[in-house]
Every structure is written in C-alpha cells, then in structure tokens.
Structure 1
Amino acid sequence: AVSLESIEYLGVKYRQEFLYFEYLSIIVFGIEFLLRIWASSERQSRRFKSGMGRRLEYIISFNGFIDLLAIVPSIISLFVGNVDLRWVRVIRLLRIFKISNYSSALEDLISAVYEDRRSFLAALYLFFISLFFSSALMYATEHKAQPIAFSSIPESMWWSLITLTTVGYGDVAPITPFGKIIGAITAFMGVCTVALLTGIIASAFANQQSRKKQIFSEEIKQAVDDGVITKDEYQKIESLRQKLNLSEEDARAMIEVIYKK
C-alpha cells in the first residue's frame, strides 16, 4: 500500500481505501507492539531481572525500535499537518524490517560479518584505496578534457565508485587515451575487490551456519548418551533449534545420523 499510493493516479483514485488500510495497520501494529512489550517480561535476560526492566530492554532493542517506527510515522502524518508525505512513506517502508521478528536472516548476516570483521575491514580498506587512487588519477587525466564531469577529485569519485562496483551507468566515461587505460585498470581492481568482499561475506555466513549445526549436534550427542531422549532433553533441543534458526528437516536428519552412529 505504501508503494502503490506513491503512484499519483492510484493515490488519488483510492485515497480513501489507502486511508482505511492505514488506520487498520496502525491498530494492528499498535496492538502487536503493546502485546510484545507486555510479553517481553517473560523473556530471559542477563541484564534485567525485573519485568519492567525486560520490557524496557525490548523497547530500546532493534526489534522494538522497528515496531515503534511501524506506527509513529503514520500517527504523525494523520494528526499533524504540513508533513512531507514523501519522507513519511519512506519511513513507513521500514515496516518491512518487522520480518526480522520472524526470521533471523538479517541478524545472522550482521553477526557473520562481525565475526569476520577483520578480513571484511581489510578488504574494505583495499576498496577505498582503489576508490581514492583511481579518482585522483582520473581527475588528473580527464579534467581538461571534461571539466564538468571531472571537476574535482570528489566529483570523480562517482565514476570510480560506479566502475569499481562494476555497475557502469555510462553517464560519465573517460575519453582520453590515458584515461581509458586508467578506466580499464580501475575496472579490473573493482572485480578483485568486490569479489573479495563478496567472498568474505559468503564464507563468514557459511562458517556461521556450520558452527550452528555443530553446536546443535553436540547438544544432541549429550542427549542421546544414555540411548534415550527424555522430554526435558527434547524441549531443550527444540528450544536450541529455534534459537539457532535451524529447520525441522535439518534437525531430524542430524538426530538420525547421530542415532545411527
């Protein structure tokens, strides 16, 4: 609805329907937010022992902040005048992050990058060196030929960034022979640095998934040491499976493999 109402003729034609839908969204998200605050007192927390402290911890958490953003912009736009609706729509689109309440994909990605942050920062450092170096060279070689497109080193960074990331919009391109040589070298550096960054993230994500399965496997091994999984052990295993965001199929396969051993 947020995206569709930005189309002018749809926004005008179905303005009332979009408004009703927005009222419904505020009510649903508002009730959900209040229920999450109330239920958060039952969560285990190392920082807070009291229910009020746990509720406060949820409110200031990432998920709590996203849940709050899901309703506040709409309330402001409905009851406060002279608001730029374009920015309100953009902020309302942050509701999509509410999916993180039901999937740990975003959290897993951030955690994977953080675990391998040294390699990631080293690759990022090489990328920025390439960005500044190619921008300076392109400014030196193309400024006279294209004084508007390459008016300064910061202005030249647009071309360098687009070339290094292999996007290549084509709005700015070198025309001098030496500039074309620098462009070719920059494109090659971009393939190397971007591939390095992508490889590090992919490897870190795969390693994290492997660690999760290893932790889950060790828990299963401890549970089946006596040959029987008790009810308490099963609940503990199931709780760990949900925490690690492993599928039931993967969990069953791992249990069967361990049982066979």
Structure 2
Amino acid sequence: MKSDYNFKKRVYEVIEVSRMGDLSSRAYDVLMTTAIIVGLVPLTLKGNSRYTILIDIFTSALFLVDYIARVYTADYKMGYENYKAYIAYIFTPLAIFDLLSIIPVIYIFLPVSSIIGLLRLFRIFRVLKLVRYSKTMVIISNVIRKVKKQLLAVLILIIVYIFVAAMLIFQLEPNLFSSFFDALYWATISITTIGYGDIFPVTPVGRFITMISALVGMAVIALPTGIITAAYMQEITKKKSKYEL
C-alpha cells in the first residue's frame, strides 16, 4: 500500500510542470509539448492522408495516457484524498479540454461524414493543453483566474453598451439595417474601433453615436489591460523565487 502511494505521488510529480532538477518530469513536459505541436499539424493541411491519421492515432494515444494519469493522481491535484477529488477534477476546464483533445481520433472509425468535420475541429483544443506545460502560460492562467470577476464585470459592461448602441442606431438609421443582428454587428465593430466600413451611418446623430462608440472602445480596451497588467506583475513577483535562481 505504501509503495502504491509513493508510486502515485511520483506519477503526479512527473506529469505536473517540472521542477528544478527533475529530469524525468522535464522530459515528460518536452514529450507532451512536442506531441501537442505535432498533433496540430493536420489542421494546417487539407483533407487527410495516411500520415495525418498516424499523427492523430499516436498523439491521441499519448493524450489518453496523460488523461488517465491525471485522473489517477487527481487527489494530489485537488489537495484532498476522497473519491470526490476525482469527480471534481474531471469537471475542471483543463480536464475537459484534455478529453476533447482525444476525441478527434474517433473520426477514423466513423462512417458518418456529417460529424467528421466537427470532430476534426476538436483538435484545436490541443492548443489549450500547452497552458500547463509552459511556466509563462501557467502564470497567465493564474492571472486570469485571479481577476476573472473584474474581467466579467467589464465584459457585462461591454455587452450592455453594445446592445444599447445597437438599439439606438437601429431606430435612428431604419433604412441602414435589415435586421437587429446587423445593428449588433455594427455596434461590435464600432466599439472595438475596427470599423470595416461595410455598414456606416449617414445621419448626423448616427455618426455621433459612432464617434462615441469608438471613444468608449478605447476605454474598454484600456480597462481590462490595466487590470491584467497589475495582476500579472503581482504574479511575476510571487513566482520569481519558485521559477528563477
């Protein structure tokens, strides 16, 4: 029983981000990072060939082993020894992305073509696996988690403003938009200050609202940037002693 406990702990240490001097864990990080990058190659090619199928099978097999190992050591990850730790871990975002990154290989065995394209697109979830194998990405992930409430508040503010601006312009420029969705599209590209020019107001009041949207857009971009930057600097200071000599 004791040896099994030690074995599980060692497995956990290997699959987590490597620490200084842990060559096995470092090699595992390099292996998985390489597998993730190679597993994205099929997305850069049209159709499938024998090589892309082999890539999917090989990388998916590695991801499956990694997923099983992480579920097996979930009690260490979650910080408590209980069956609830395994259930809780399975429903964490990274665990869900891990599972979705394995699914694309299923298309090889399916004759139904209508869902094959969707399954192939699931390969994109493999990018998110890189988060845990990069110390920089771990820091960024911690930063986003720390300020998620503030960012959510900003997102709600943006959505409310977009709807208000869309409703105003939809009433002031009735001949410009064929549907309310077009007005939402205009409000979104205006608040982001992109302004493609495919839809633009012609009345003075409509143009004034566009000007306000562009100015609000600059403030909206600056607000989350400042929040994230402040939290990032705090995280860098906290992690410096752990990751640097």
TM-score (norm 1): 0.65
Report whether the alignment pairs 1:192 with 2:232.
no
Aligned amino acid, residue 82 of structure 1: V
Residues 102 and 204 of structure 1: CA distance in aligned 2, closer, same or farther (over 3 Å):
same
Among residues 96, 118, 132, which one is paired with 1:65 in the alignment?
A: 96
Instruction: Give the Cα–Cα distance (whole angstroms) in 1 for the partners of residues 221 and 214 of structure 2.
Output: 10
1:24 matches 2:61? no
1:165/1:191 contact within 8 Å kept? yes
**1:166-209 deviation digits (Å, cap 9, x = unpaired):** 22222211122322222112111111122112222222222232
- Distance in 2, matches of 1:157 and 1:167, equals 14
Give the fraction of aligned pairs with identical amino acids, expressed as a percent: 25
TM-score by length of 2: 0.69
3-state SS in 1 of match to 2:151 = helix
Matched residue pairs, number? 204
In structure 2, C-alpha distance between the alignment counterparts of 1:193 and 1:116, rounded to whole Å? 16
* Cα displacement (A) at 1:61: 3.5
Q: Could you say if the C-alpha distance between residues 104 and 58 of structure 1 is closer, same or farther in structure 2, counting changes exceeding 3 Å? A: farther
Q: Does 1:205 align with 2:236?
A: no
TM-aligned CA distance change 1:35 to 1:155, over 3 Å: same
Where does residue 94 of structure 1 map in the other structure?
125
- In structure 2, the CA distance between the partners of 1:31 and 1:175, relative to structure 1 (3 Å rule), is same
The one-letter amino acid paired with 1:43 is Y
Q: Does 1 or 2 have the higher relative contact order (CA < 8 Å, sep 6+)?
A: 2
CA separation of 1:45 and 1:129: change in aligned 2, threshold 3 A: closer
Letter in 1 for 2:109: F
Conserved? CA contact 1:59–1:65, under 8 Å: yes
- List aligned pairs for 1:95-244, cutoff 5 A: 95-103=126-134, 105-106=136-137, 108-117=139-148, 119-144=150-175, 146-148=176-178, 151-152=179-180, 154-213=181-240, 216=241, 241=242
**C-alpha separation in 2, matches of 1:100 and 1:67:** 11
Which structure 1 residue ranges, 5 or more long, are not aligned? 217-240, 253-261
Q: Residue type matched to 1:134 in 2? A: A
Q: What are the ranges of 5 or more consecutive residues in structure 2 without an aligned counterpart?
A: 1-40
Q: CA deviation at 1:158?
A: 0.9
Q: CA deviation at 1:45?
A: 4.5
Pair 1:45–1:27, CA change in 2 (3 A): closer
Matched, 1:43 2:76: yes
Q: CA separation of 1:147/1:60 partners in 2, compared to 1, >3 Å: closer, same or farther?
A: closer
The change in CA–CA distance for 1:130 and 1:206 in structure 2 (over 3 A counts) is same
CA contact (8 A) 2:143 2:235 kept: yes
> Partners of 1:142 and 1:47 in 2: how far apart?
59
Q: Secondary structure at the match of 1:70?
A: helix
Match of 2:44 in 1: 4
Q: 1:119 to 1:32 in 2, by over 3 A?
A: closer
SS of residue in 2 equivalent to 1:17: helix
Tell me if structure 2 keeps the 8 A contact 1:66–1:95.
yes
Question: AA paired with 1:46?
Answer: G
Root-mean-square deviation over aligned CA pairs = 2.9
99 and 47 in structure 1: CA distance in 2 versus 1, 3 angstrom threshold: same
